[in-house]
Structure 1
């Protein structure tokens, strides 16, 4: 049975706790364990295990000719223990390594209660402690090297990676997260992820806690999840992100953390949608060609009979009105069929050198006539170092005219239309900006789709046709817009004898 008066709290006391000022050590003899004792006192790996240790003196070293050079220790050496004891009253720990029991008894008899003694038999425990401490130091160094290597690898990953607590607070993150947020790693730790996550250019990714985030589904289901989000950059370009969430479990199977990864898939999404649209256009082209020819023949017959009826003098006014509608609708259908056929025809013809600055100036002069009096104002900016591009001047001018007309329709009460010609990488970029109503991200996703139109009487082939013409000449068209802040349409062209490599959307992440 246990003694009920025994204080178990004393089990937690360590012998070192009574030595707040550390130990001043004197060593007598240099037998087994001598080098281990010296390493224990002077080596860094042991400082986490022991109180402050300092060697003040050595004595009786004759029997160890193979020991380390005494002068390197920087402490005095005495022939006898008595000399050392008398010269260093500050000693409070004596280590006996003479290895002789009789000599040990003599040394013990000369020590008062303020000086502790560690004899040569007890020193063997230091050897075990020494090996354990070195092993721990080795594993610590190895672990630190592995940690640094793993952190370096994670920091080089292009995705944003955050380790979140169950409350959604950041406990760790890779370098991309805190660098793009303009903060240090320490500044983001402990904050909610939505307060620190950013998109390109350092813009805040979430304005508040988003209940649709995969984090919440993983938190409730305990399984990995993912979702796609769209954002606008500072210029109004549409950005695409895929967000992943992964549960992290401890050894007991409890979910302790959630790993979040933000992947920018903008370029990939644009490329995939471009390929999908190209395949879709091929199908639409074949179908449109077939339908146009099949419909046009009976349509000509209907139109011809309708025109003949309209010339008849036997029709009443009411009948003439109906026939007029019939003639008008057949003409409208014929116009739609012509547009469909033009859309399916290859637009690329013989190449020529096109001066975009001249083309822009001529187009603005043309469009100014009749429009400036309705409140529309043009501004132009032309970089004189932009080379000529390869293409068809007539088609490019028609594309520019149609884009400007779209700008007019976006500003029915007038506004400013800004045209700018500059270089973007190896491509010549011609931009048209308006101050109109702008577009939502959903409208941006569909704006280049054939037969999609925001106009009540539109056929939806305007921007789709422009895109087809530009891409047929190895160029590209981009759109950037924000609701209420206007729209910018940019056409990118290949310079004559240029490299003609399409630049990706600017990634300043």
Structure 2
């Protein structure tokens, strides 16, 4: 039964009627159908109910053979298996019911009109479906081309849909993403009670039912810091109630890095201006304080007084050391002439610092790549950068650990890497470690990493920091290699 209903039977149709009923019926059918459907319907001929000359002309409206009556039409077209009667004449209908062959079906005028309108509805539905599919394909193509991660989530924070950028970032097909919480794929850093920070945008929007946005930092599996701007917009229904939420995530790590560099440049400019004032207004009286304190120390024999004078001398020396660091930091870095052998600098420096590592139960590992090109930097500058990094790593491992110093090529740049197994750096401190005068040790000038970054910036290199709290820190210096450019010869 099911197969018979689904069978694609080919109908060969004949029309029966007069001119006043056939032409309007055909025009209605043609206006509601289309050329593809009309071609498949199988209209073969038409027969007149009223007397008319055989082959009578109906114009261009009906391009079918015309017969004088239905019997003549069936005789000329014995393959007809369906006839449509368009007049509604009861006498004619009775005649057709009695005399039509059993293999020819009869469709009366009212039933034919019903099927024509049903066909119109079906064709309209197909047209709407095609238009909807076209729009859906176009919209999906546009959204999938965007670099931003776009997700649709429900009121519980579960993913309803996502674009291609989300699937690529997670390495998962859409089927494995839909239905799971958004924060299972894009976690946020823990908030500490009382720190004054607001909830992430999605959580704000789910509670407040209003748009929200914020910059979210997170650390990837390699310990690299990323910054993402997250926008969340409620999608309201006809009653104005939010039923779902559109979440757009944009990676702004590069932009944030540029902003941080600009801010640091502004701070360095301020420090440069301040250093001139410090040199003239503080160093001279500091020199006088130290000189007079040394004179007093030679002339005083009271032990208590001598102890206090010694404290004055030590503190003045410490202040002078800080002052020298500030002046050195503010002074423009000169790259130096010629090129430097990075591996040789590493070996010489670590030979000097190896004893300090050994005394603190720190295992030192060198991994130096062979055939490295020389770098465009002064040896003393590179030595200063390496000492700063090693000192920080040693201080981060008070109970001992592993310190690895490696060199190699990364793309077209020479890389110097210092990695420790120390305490690591908390994510909220990553942005501050390269800032002048910032220190987590409670002592020192806080200029070590800031000076290292300044030297690399002036040399045309970059610094990359990766750290996992409790698992260690890795700082990589990327240096420009010395190019094989012929030097101009002096005129003889």
TM (normalized to structure 1)?
0.77
SS of equivalent to 2:376: strand
Write out aligned runs for 1:184-333 (5 A): 184-195=173-184, 197-198=185-186, 212-313=199-300, 315-333=301-319
Q: Partner of 1:470 in structure 2?
A: 456
Write out aligned runs for 1:369-408 (5 A): 369=355, 371-372=357-358, 374-408=360-394
Q: CA RMSD in A?
A: 4.0
Q: Partner of 2:149 in structure 1?
A: 160
TM (normalized to structure 2)?
0.80
**2:336 pairs with 342, 350, 353, which one?**
350
User: How much has 1:110 moved relative to structure 2?
Assistant: 4.7
Q: Partner of 1:96 in structure 2?
A: 84
The answer for unaligned runs of 5 or more in structure 2 is 17-21, 48-53, 66-70, 192-196, 486-492
User: How much has 1:408 moved relative to structure 2?
Assistant: 1.3
The answer for unaligned runs of 5 or more in structure 1 is 1-16, 47-53, 71-77, 199-203, 500-509
Q: Partner of 2:429 in structure 1?
A: 443
Residue-by-residue CA offset, 1:50-76 (whole Å, 9 max, x unaligned): xxxx98997768979988999xxxxxx
Q: Partner of 2:444 in structure 1?
A: 458
In the comparison of the two structures, how many residue pairs are matched?
Answer: 455
**2:95 pairs with 106, 117, 120, which one?**
106
**Any conservation in 2 of the 1:353–1:389 contact (CA below 8 Å)?**
yes
**Any conservation in 2 of the 1:289–1:340 contact (CA below 8 Å)?**
no
Residue-by-residue CA offset, 1:274-315 (whole Å, 9 max, x unaligned): 1111111111221133123211111111111111100004x4
**Any conservation in 2 of the 1:45–1:134 contact (CA below 8 Å)?**
no
Distance (whole Å) between structure 1 residues aligned to residue 99 and residue 175 of structure 2: 56
Residue-by-residue CA offset, 1:136-181 (whole Å, 9 max, x unaligned): 4333323322221111111121121111111222221111222332
Q: Partner of 1:505 in structure 2?
A: none
Residue-by-residue CA offset, 1:326-371 (whole Å, 9 max, x unaligned): 1111111111111111111011243421222222233233322453
Distance (whole Å) between structure 2 residues aligned to residue 373 and residue 334 of structure 1: 29
User: How much has 1:428 moved relative to structure 2?
Assistant: 1.6
**Any conservation in 1 of the 2:32–2:117 contact (CA below 8 Å)?**
no
Structure 2 CA distance for partners of 1:23 and 1:483, relative to 1, 3 Å: closer
Q: Partner of 2:19 in structure 1?
A: none
2:167 is the alignment partner of 1:178 = yes
User: How much has 1:253 moved relative to structure 2?
Assistant: 1.7
Distance (whole Å) between structure 2 residues aligned to residue 95 and residue 190 of structure 1: 55
Q: Which range moved further: 104-113 or 213-222?
A: 104-113
Distance (whole Å) between structure 2 residues aligned to residue 247 and residue 427 of structure 1: 47
Structure 2 CA distance for partners of 1:422 and 1:38, relative to 1, 3 Å: farther
Structure 2 CA distance for partners of 1:164 and 1:364, relative to 1, 3 Å: same
**Any conservation in 1 of the 2:83–2:104 contact (CA below 8 Å)?**
no
Distance (whole Å) between structure 2 residues aligned to residue 486 and residue 79 of structure 1: 99
Structure 2 CA distance for partners of 1:414 and 1:216, relative to 1, 3 Å: closer
Distance (whole Å) between structure 2 residues aligned to residue 467 and residue 497 of structure 1: 23
Q: Partner of 2:126 in structure 1?
A: 137
Structure 2 CA distance for partners of 1:221 and 1:205, relative to 1, 3 Å: closer
Structure 2 CA distance for partners of 1:84 and 1:390, relative to 1, 3 Å: same
**Any conservation in 1 of the 2:461–2:479 contact (CA below 8 Å)?**
yes
**Any conservation in 2 of the 1:379–1:418 contact (CA below 8 Å)?**
yes
